[in-house]
Amino acid sequence: MICCGLIACKKNSVSFTYTPDAPRAGQSVSFTNQSTSGEEWAWTFGDGITSTLKSPTHTYKKPGTYRVVLKVDKRAAWTATQEITVYDTVPSFSCSDSTLIVYDDYTFTALVYNPYSYTVKYEWSFPDEYKEFIGVVDTTMKKSKLTVYFKEAMDSIPVTLRVELNDEKTEVTKYFRIYNVLTNSVLVRTPEGDYRQRIFDARADKPRLDGTAAALLNVEQDTFQIYNGDTFRLSELQILFPELEGFHIAKRKIYYRADGLRVANIDGSYRVLIDSLDCPAMTLDMLDNRIYWANDSGVWYMPFVGSDNNRFVTTPVRLNSLQDAMVLAADTTER
C-alpha cells in the first residue's frame, strides 16, 4: 500500500524535443514526446496545423518563429510549450505579429541558416522619409532582432535587413501595413487653439490642433461633480479645503488644484502634494485611471493614487510641452 501511494504521488512530467535543431522551411521536423504518462496528445504547431499522434512529424512551409504546444490528456496543467525557429537557405526575417498597430511594440527577427556558426553581421534600415514615424526600442540596429513601434498608420512601409555571412552579403526588404486603432484622448485648450492628443497605453502621439475638441472643452469643469449620487460643489468643498480652486473625484479620492496639485481622501484626511507648481487645469481619465494636469512646463500625468494614506510611488510623466493650458478634458469616448 505504501508503494502504491508513492507511485500515485509521482508528479507527471510533460516535455518534448525536436530534430533537427535548426530546421529549414520544407524540411520534416520530428517531435519526440518525453512525457512520463498520458494516453491522449494534442499538438499545435503554431502555423494552424495540429496533431493527436504521440510523437508526430511536421513540415513548416514558411520560415519564421513558431510556438509549439503539447497538451496531455486534455489537462491545461499538463502542457509544455517551446518556440521553434524555422530558417530558409536564403537569409530572411519575420515579424512578431501579422497585424501591426500604431504605437505597439513589434520585433523583427533575422532568420539566418548558419549550421557552421560563422560570424554574422546584421544591419536593419528604413528609408529616410519614414524614420520620423518610427520609434526604435533597441539601442542598436545591428543585432539579429530589432524592436520598434510606428507612430503613424501607413499603407506600406519597407523594412530592410542586410546580412553578411561568410563574406556573402544579402539584402531582404519586406513591406508592412500599419493600422490605426480607436483610442481615447486628452484634450488641451491653449491661447493658440484646442489640441487633441491620442493615448496608446504607455505612449501618445503628438498633440494636434483639433476643432472637434471644442465641444468637450467648453463643458469640462472642475467646480461641480455628482459622485455616488451626492452633489459636490466648489463653494461647499472650500469649507473643508479653503484653498480649493478646482477638483475631481474618483475612487473616494479628491484631486484638487490648490497652490499646485494635491490629493486627499474624500473626507479630507491625508492631504498629499503631487506637484508644487501652479496648476491651472486638470482632468481625470476614468478609462485608463489616470490624472492629467498642466503646469508651466506642459501637461503631465500619473496613475490614480491607490494607497489609504495617498502616498504614491509612481513618478509623474510629462505628456507634452504645450504652454499656457487653460482647460483639460479626457475624451473617454474612443475615437
Q: Is the pLDDT of residue 1 over 70?
A: no
Q: Which residues of 199-226 are buried (b: 16+ CB within 10 A; e: fewer)?
A: bbeeebbebeebeebeebbeebebeebe
In which element (H, E) is residue 291 found?
A: strand 290-295
List phi, psi (to 5°) of 225: -160, 145
Domains and CATH numbers, the chain: 13-86 (2.60.40.10), 92-179 (2.60.40.1080), 185-331 (no CATH)
The cell for 224 is: 461641480
User: Can you list the pairs that 152-156 forms with residues at least 24 positions away whose Cβ atoms lie under 8 Å?
Assistant: 152/102, 152/178, 153/102, 153/178, 153/179, 153/180, 154/130, 154/178
Q: Do the bridges between strand 50-51 and strand 41-44 make them parallel or antiparallel, or are there none, so unpaired?
A: antiparallel
Q: Do the bridges between strand 290-295 and strand 298-303 make them parallel or antiparallel, or are there none, so unpaired?
A: antiparallel
Question: In the block, which residue shows the cell 479626457?
Answer: 330
pTM strictly above 0.85? no
Q: Is the pLDDT of residue 6 over 50?
A: no
Q: Which band of pLDDT confidence, cut at 50, 70 and 90, is reported for residue 26?
A: confident
What is the C-alpha R_g of the chain? 28
**Residue 318 · residue 297 · CB < 8 Å:** yes
Secondary structure (DSSP) of 197-235: EEEETTEE---EE-GGGHHHHHH--SSEEEETTEEEEHH
- As a whole number of angstroms, the distance between CA 116 and CA 166 comes to 10
- As a whole number of angstroms, the distance between CA 304 and CA 286 comes to 9
The cell for 321 is: 510641452
* Higher-scoring residue by pLDDT: 334, 208: 208
Q: Which band of pLDDT confidence, cut at 50, 70 and 90, is reported for residue 10?
A: low
Q: Which residues contact 30 (CB under 8 A, 6 or more apart)?
A: 18, 19, 55, 57
**Residue 239 · residue 247 · CB < 8 Å:** no
How many percent of the chain have pLDDT more than 70?
Answer: 96
**Residue 24 · residue 12 · CB < 8 Å:** no
The cell for 177 is: 501595413
Q: Is the pLDDT of residue 171 over 60?
A: yes
Mean pLDDT is lowest, of 1-10, 30-39, 87-96, for: 1-10
- As a whole number of angstroms, the distance between CA 256 and CA 248 comes to 6
Strand order in the sheet with 317-320: 282-285, 290-295, 298-303, 317-320
**Residue 88 · residue 24 · CB < 8 Å:** yes
- As a whole number of angstroms, the distance between CA 321 and CA 300 comes to 9
